[in-house]
A and B are shown apart, each in its own frame.
Chain A
Amino acid sequence: MKFNLFVLPFTIGLLVLFSILTAKYIRWFLSLSTDQRDAVIKNFFTLKTLSGLREIFLESLLHRNISRKNRLLGYMHMSLAFGWFLLIIVGHFESYSYFKTALEPPYIPIFLRYFQQDSLADPLQVIYWFVMDLILLFVLSGVALAWYKRHNRKHFGMKKTTRHLPADRIALSVLWFIFPLRLLAESITSAIYGGGSFLTSGLGSLLENNIASDLSFIASWWAYSISLGLFFVFLPFSRYMHIPTELVLIMLRNWGATKYTGKIDGITQFEVHSCSSCGICLDSCQLLELGHANIQSPYLFRNFRGNKLSDTVVQNCLMCGRCETTCVVGIKTNSVRRAIRQNSDVEVNHDYLRHVDTSFNSSPDVLYFAGCMTHLTPGIKKSMQAIFKAAKINYALVDEDQNICCGRPMMLSGLAEQSLAMVNKNKELFENSGAQTLVTSCPICYKVFRDEYNLNIEVLHHTQYIDRLMKEGKLALAKSEEQVVYHDPCELGRNSGVYDEPRRVIAALANLSESPANREKAWCCGGSIANAMLTSLEKKELAISALGKIVPKNTMTLVTACPLCKKTFASTGKHINIVDIAELVAVNLSAGKDKRRIWMFEKIESASI
């Protein structure tokens, strides 16, 4: 039996790690919803499993997504993950070539140079030594970069990085020690017993005269084993939990089991524990501009893991989704935050909704739901009515006198269950109308009608509807030479994926220029209803900052598609014309014959309010 006491720290660490992981994963799997579990069972023996494994190889080992952000950062992660993986795999092959058995204890391939000190007259061994030295060098280059990154993160494309907790720091330091200690142990072995290749034998010959001795030989193997064991023990309690958990998350995602259920479930746990606190998302968070530096997704997840959630870290977020689009692991940060915010204890009483009349006198083809925010930007509502009229559509304005909120503001505030009375009342209203299409001007309403109402009616945002009317030739419009820039509202763009329709409409009416941060990279106006904590001044500061970044120098008009964005940007008092797409179209319609001059400044203003 090949054994030495020094393998114990490693072996015990590995056992502890596996028992903790098994216990946690079983618990989280059991808390999956029935739908999620069925999806796993249904898709387990399909090609989806293979595509999951492929994604694991590309993301967890090669770190393709990180490389897309920054090559150096990608290389650093790849050398550590893929290098370590290769060390283990090639180590197993090497061990098999010596001992001709695959049933060795797990520590044999890890400490192979200790258990196979002598040189065999075998050219294969020389090749293995060379390959293992090469892989070790590969990993060490990653460790060196990680060390360098601590002090020069700008070279890795990151302005900010996460502040780590003590357990994370210990695990990080131990991780940095593992590979240099392996190099030391193998080099000393090489100095005493010979063998090794360019790296270990080279360093060995340097150490031969002064450091290499029986004592330093065994001490270095002990140190290597202890560092491994410590890392394994700290792993489940530190951010390195992401290493095993991300693998499971990728598989679950490929099996289609990650659908949001509205509460904290197994998927939430897997997502939260897949966050490596790498901090790549931090630079995308606009709240950092205001100095709110402890509420970003990595901190939320970390506090959740440690059961130390504070009101601020949970609530102070715009839920704009910018971090979600930058996350290299693909964690659904908004869904996780919504699940964490969910609070069933808050009493809500919406019994008064029974007074709302949901009957219809007419039988419209199209329903127009302006939405709360649109009622505060009447220009949008009037414009839409003018457009319906011009296109001769049989429509009905649903929320003329009495409007019920769509429910999304409450859902985003953690009161999804409590918003059901509103949801049901609105559904009743829509379904009683007999209409086939529901058009709304508010992206917040659009998102929730489309994704959470389960309506039998087609739901369109007014940009999509106008685009359709234009395609059908129902609107007589002409293009002007005005220069405009489009701002993607968070709820319409990033959160609903509607990017092209608004652009098509604008491009047909004016010269559309794109801001550098557009589409999924678009800035939030700051007015988000998901954040109840920001003061009015803070929101204004965000809006001013966003405007400055969105609007190019030669442009005087910003076109948006969200009443809340319009209202928020307008509050900045900047001399920029802020219009909604509907207003742009309506003014063009009303410009009569002289459409080329159309919707200059004053006209927009007079149409607005």
Chain B
Amino acid sequence: MNSFGFEIQKDNTIEYDKNDLSLAAFVLRHEPSLYNCIQCGSCSGTCPASAISSYQFRKMQLLMRRGETKHLREDVAHCMLCGKCILVCPRGVNTRNVIRQIRIALNMN
């Protein structure tokens, strides 16, 4: 079939009522500083992995907190743990531990 360069976008609706928020609850319980996040994106702005890949910490944690965990496992695998994001975070979010807790929650640890 010819490809016209168009595709039908998937439905982007987030079903809060239906989504499983247990993973987010686990991560937030073990790293409550994530509650302080104001979604400023400084972390993703400084992230060396974000500069060369589609990975973004801000996006990942936002989706996670909405229960959209489908791509979480592949997303979190991108992190290099360098720790730049912690240093730039204006809200003192312990981003490296958020990564660690996501990995624990996904049984990757």
Contact = CB atoms under 8 A, between A and B. Distances in A.
Contacts of B38: none
Given A352-B49, A535-B92, A415 B82 contact: no
B77 A348 contact: yes
Nearest to A404: B48
Given A532-B96, A533-B97, A535-B92, A356 B81 contact: no
Interface stretch (A19-27, A85-93, A268-276, A372-380): A372-380
A376 B46 contact: yes
Interface in A493-543: 527, 529, 532-537
B88 A347 contact: no
Interface in B56-109: 73-74, 77-84, 86-89, 92-94, 96-97, 99-100, 103-104, 108-109
A355 B48 contact: no
Nearest to B53: A352
Nearest to A407: B80
Contacts of A403: 48, 51
B1 interface: no
Contacts of B48: 372, 402-405
Interface residues of B, number: 34
A415 B81 contact: yes
Contacts of A410: 80-81
Contacts of B74: 349
B52 interface: yes
Nearest to A414: B109
Given A347-B73, A356-B52, A402-B48, A409 B97 contact: no
A535 B99 CA distance: 14
Given A349-B74, A372-B48, A536 B94 contact: yes
A343 interface: yes
Contacts of B109: 343, 345-346
Contacts of A349: 74, 77-78
A426 to B, nearest CB: 11
Contacts of B87: 373, 376, 527, 564, 567
Contacts of A529: 81-83, 96
A349 B53 CA distance: 11
Contacts of A356: 52
Interface in A536-579: 536-537, 564, 567
Nearest to B88: A376
Contacts of A415: 81
A567 B89 CA distance: 13
A418 to B, nearest CB: 9
Nearest to B92: A536
A356 B49 CA distance: 11
A47 interface: no
Contacts of B104: 311
| Range class of the A interface residue count | 35 or more
A352 B78 contact: yes
Contacts of A353: 52
Interface string A112-132: 000000000000000000000
B17 to A, nearest CB: 31
Contacts of A355: 52-53
Contacts of B96: 529, 532
A214 interface: no
Given A355-B52, A356-B52, A350 B81 contact: no
B10 to A, nearest CB: 23
B47 to A, nearest CB: 10
A422 interface: yes
Given A346-B109, A347-B108, A409 B82 contact: yes
Contacts of B82: 372, 405, 409, 529
Contacts of B97: 532-533
A402 B52 contact: yes
A181 B93 CA distance: 60
Interface string A327-354: 0000000000000000101111110110
A413 interface: yes
A401 interface: yes
A407 B48 CA distance: 12
A536 B109 CA distance: 24
B77 A405 contact: no
Nearest to B107: A345
Contacts of A407: 80
A375 B85 CA distance: 12
Nearest to A537: B92
Nearest to B33: A535
Nearest to A372: B82
Interface in B28-47: 33, 46
A419 B83 CA distance: 14
A495 B33 CA distance: 31
B84 A372 contact: yes
A356 B87 CA distance: 24
A52 B84 CA distance: 45
Residue in B78, B83, B104 whose Cβ sees the most chain A Cβ within 10 Å:
B83
Given A353-B52, A535-B94, A536-B92, A373 B84 contact: yes
B78 A350 contact: yes
Contact of A372 (B83, B89, B93): B83
B83 to A, nearest CB: 5
Given A347-B108, A536-B92, A401 B51 contact: yes
B81 A402 contact: no
A409 B108 contact: no
Given A346-B103, A535-B33, A536-B94, A409 B52 contact: no
A101 B86 CA distance: 72
9 contacts: A347-B73, A349-B77, A409-B80, A410-B80, A413-B100, A529-B83, A532-B94, A536-B92, A536-B94
Given A345-B109, A352-B53, A410-B80, 7 more contacts: A347-B73, A348-B77, A352-B49, A405-B82, A409-B83, A415-B81, A536-B92
Question: Top 10 nearest A-B pairs by Cβ distance?
Answer: A536-B92, A352-B53, A405-B82, A349-B77, A405-B80, A532-B96, A372-B82, A409-B81, A532-B97, A529-B83
Interface of B: 33, 46, 48-49, 51-55, 73-74, 77-84, 86-89, 92-94, 96-97, 99-100, 103-104, 108-109
Interface of A: 311, 315, 343, 345-350, 352-353, 355-356, 372-373, 375-376, 401-405, 407, 409-410, 413, 415, 419, 422, 527, 529, 532-537, 564, 567
